[in-house]
Amino acid sequence: MRGVFIVLEGIEGSGKTTAARRLAVRLAAEGYDVVATREPGGSAIGERIRSLLLDEPVALCAETEALLFAAARAQHVREVIRPALERGAVVVCDRFVDSSLAYQWGGRGLPRDDVLAAQALATQGLESDITILLDLPVDVGLARRAGDVGQTNRIDDESRAFHERVRSAYHALVAEDPGRWRVIDADQAPELVQAELSRAIEPVLARQPTSIDSQDDELSGVRWRP
Ligand code: TYD
């Protein structure tokens, strides 16, 4: 596939959504064809699944939750991510497979192989070119989230111990596959995070021919999903 697939991961309050947006805007300004998207969501069906997962005050069992995240991902991969990569775009995605490992395996304690099996079906083997972990202590992340009045969801409201397990799972994933990950300290000024993020993605962008000289004007700018 010709495009570049960049994923941002992190615990609640890591600032990943803001960082992903700023990165997408900067890359578009440099002339890349950019698709900025998020999980769960990114497609019409995915957004409906998102609302079931996060907005409704329902008691979902962990297995249903894992399968719904995977279902949203399956649609997202086929409808949005793969077509964009095939076209040669840079896809900036706020969360992907590693969120399911960190939250459903690490946080919920589901068997890792089961979570992985659902991912195989959802992604058809699609992997990111680079995954950035915006890392910070759970206390700092949760304190930031507490400031976002009305912005928390069903999973944000889990216990501190849950979020500690999520963070530990991210660290375990990084240790297993350091080549695919870059870890950025998210407990610092946003401009510093952004600068490190820009440096981290340089090597994968360097493999990408799409630039302001080579692309159709109509394709420039960020395509925001949703
Ligand atoms: P969101 O509002 O997008 O928050 P954030 O800014 O933290 O990304 O909520 C997404 C929530 O869903 C978040 O708590 C992490 C969780 N999640 C999973 O548990 N598994 C997954 O596979 C994904 C994609 C997200």
- Mutating to test ligand 1, I would choose from 153, 166, 173 the residue with most ligand atoms within 8 A of its C-beta, which is 153
Task: Tell how far the Cα of 192 is from the centroid of ligand 1, in angstroms.
Answer: 24
Q: What integer pLDDT is reported at residue 217 of this predicted model?
A: 42
Check pocket membership of 13 for ligand 1, CB cut-off 6 A. Answer: no
Q: Please give the mean pLDDT across all residues of the chain.
A: 91
CB neighbour class for 112 (10 Å; exposed up to 12, middle 13-18, buried from 19): middle
pLDDT at 212 over 60: no
Instruction: Count other Cβ atoms within 10 Å, centred on residue 82.
Output: 18
- Which is the closest atom of ligand 1 to the Cα of 95? 24
Check pocket membership of 40 for ligand 1, CB cut-off 6 A. Answer: yes
CATH code of the domain made up of 4-208: 3.40.50.300
Residue nearest to ligand 1 atom 22, measured at CA: 100
pLDDT mean over 147-159: 78
Q: What integer pLDDT is reported at residue 222 of this predicted model?
A: 83
What's the pLDDT tens digit per position in 172-196?
999 999 999 999 999 999 999 999 9
pLDDT at 213 over 80: no
Output the pTM of the full model. 0.92
> For 131-167, b where at least 16 C-beta lie within 10 A, e where not — what string?
bbbbbbebeebbebbeeeeeeeebbbebeeebbbbbb
129 close to 7: Cβ distance less than 8 angstroms: no
Check pocket membership of 32 for ligand 1, CB cut-off 6 A. Answer: no
What's the pLDDT tens digit per position in 34-59?
999 999 999 999 999 999 999 877 88
- Mutating to test ligand 1, I would choose from 64, 68, 98, 99 the residue with most ligand atoms within 8 A of its C-beta, which is 99
